[in-house]
Amino acid sequence: MSTLAALLPAVPALGWAVHARWLYSPLTTARRDPLTGLWTRDAFTRRARRLLRDARAVVVLADVDHFKQINDTHGHAAGDVLLAAVAARLAHGTTPGGVAGRLGGDEFAAVVIDRDGTMADRLHTLARVLARPVENAPDVHTTVSLGWVRAGDHPGEDLSALLRRADEAMYAAKHSGRSGPRRARLGRLLGSVTGRRPGRRGAA
């Protein structure tokens, strides 16, 4: 059998492999937020649900403080740079093994596995890192409010319920006048759906 004849059966399979790769690349891009590079809400949700099978999983909600003021003072381009910096720092702070996503506007979420029980300390460190000025733009910075909840404290609750708990904690942190992350309280949920409270700032 000639070399050409031997290769012919492989041509359709090779063609489909190339086609599948060509299709996969745009799909992966579509699952990434174009500004920050984090997973979009739907892509984040799928990955976060898998991590929540581990009782050590921690759900974190992050919201940029005074973001409208940043836009009004420095312009929307500076606001975009700030969001990108927050996203990069959040993604770095939730590795290895975690997942971070942009839920919309200036709101982000992450799920991390707390393997050594140090999540509270790690999040205090993360809050300080998130508040650092943007590189080469020292005037562009603000604090970031963090709320978090441990999945094991609320067995049977899904990602949506845990995000609502983290949302309540995040708002408590935001309005407490003190910097630092806030852990969700035990007991029943008090708040409304994440990101839909009265007086909520709009998207960037």
Q: Containing H/E element for 128?
A: helix 119-130
Paired residues of 57 in beta bridges: 113
Task: Please identify which residue in the block is written with the tokens 């603000």.
Answer: 142
Is cis: bond before 138, omega within 30 of 0?
Answer: no
The residue type at 92: H
Check residue 71 and report its DSSP letter. Answer: H
| Helices and strands, counts by H and E, the chain | 7, 5
Main-chain dihedrals φ then ψ at residue 33, nearest 5 degrees: -65, 125
* Residues with catalytic function: 106
Residues sharing a CB contact under 8 Å with residue 74, sequence separation 6 or more, in sequence order? 139, 140
Nearest to 144 by CA among 116, 108, 195: 108
